[in-house]
Amino acid sequence: MRVKVSELIEGCILQKDVTGMTVYPLVPKKTVLNPIHLDVLKRFSIDSVEVERTLVDGTLFKPQTTAEDASEQKIEEIPLSFTESYLKAIREFKQEFTKWQSGGAIDFMKVRSIIMPLLKKVIETPENLHTIRHYSNPKDYLYHHSVAVGIISGMLAKKLGYDVGIYNQAALGGMLSDCGMARIRASILEKKSLSQWEFQEIREHTLNSYKMVKDTSLLKPEIKLAIYQHHERLDGTGYPGGEKAEKIHMMSRIIAVADVYHAMTSERAYRSKQSPFKVLEMIMEDSFGQFDISVVKALFSLIGDLSIGTKVRLSNGEEASVIFTKREALTRPLVKLEKSEEIIDLVQNRNIFIEDVI
The confidence score (pLDDT) of residue 24 equals 76
Same domain, 180 and 160: yes
Whether 211 and 260 have beta carbons less than 8 Å apart is answered as: no
Same domain, 99 and 222: yes
The confidence score (pLDDT) of residue 73 equals 44
Same domain, 137 and 280: yes
pLDDT in tens, 171-219: 999 999 999 999 999 889 888 788 899 999 999 999 999 999 999 999 9
pLDDT in tens, 119-176: 999 999 999 999 999 999 999 999 999 999 999 999 999 999 999 999 999 999 999 9
Q: Residue 320 belongs to what domain range? A: 311-357
Same domain, 349 and 227: no
Q: Which residues of 99-132 are buried (b: 16+ CB within 10 A; e: fewer)?
A: ebeeeeebeeeebeebbeebbebbeeeeebbbbb
Same domain, 254 and 163: yes
Burial class (CB in 10 A: 0-12, 13-18, 19+), 226: buried
- In this model, does residue 69 exceed pLDDT 70? no
Phi, psi torsion values for 351, nearest 5 degrees: -80, -10
| Pairwise CA distance, residues 279 & 296, whole Å | 11
Same domain, 203 and 243: yes
Same domain, 147 and 19: no
Taking the CA atoms of residue 272, residue 357, residue 254 and residue 182 in that order, the dihedral angle to the nearest 10 degrees is: 40
| The Cα angle at residue 240 between residues 236 and 244, in degrees rounded to 5 | 25
**What percent of the chain is helix, strand and coil (3-state, nearest 5)?**
50, 15, 40
Give me the mean pLDDT over the 32-51 stretch: 92
The bridge status of strand 311-314 relative to strand 319-326 is: antiparallel
Same domain, 182 and 262: yes
How many domains does the chain fold into?
Answer: 3
Q: Specify the CATH number for the domain of residue 222.
A: 1.10.3210.10
| Pairwise CA distance, residues 223 & 228, whole Å | 9
Same domain, 216 and 262: yes
Same domain, 204 and 352: no
- In this model, does residue 71 exceed pLDDT 50? no
Same domain, 132 and 242: yes
Number of neighbours of residue 329 by Cβ within 10 angstroms: 15
The confidence score (pLDDT) of residue 38 equals 94
Residue 125: strand, helix, or coil: coil
pLDDT in tens, 230-266: 999 999 999 999 999 999 999 999 999 999 999 999 9
Classify the phi-psi angles of 50: left when phi > 0, otherwise alpha if psi is within -120 to 50, otherwise beta: beta
Same domain, 144 and 266: yes
Q: What is the pTM of this model?
A: 0.88
Domain endpoint, select from 265, 284, 303: 303
| Pairwise CA distance, residues 262 & 258, whole Å | 6
Average pLDDT, the chain: 92
Domain endpoint, select from 257, 272, 303: 303
Taking the CA atoms of residue 192, residue 58, residue 303 and residue 345 in that order, the dihedral angle to the nearest 10 degrees is: -80
The confidence score (pLDDT) of residue 268 equals 83
Domain endpoint, select from 58, 77, 96: 77
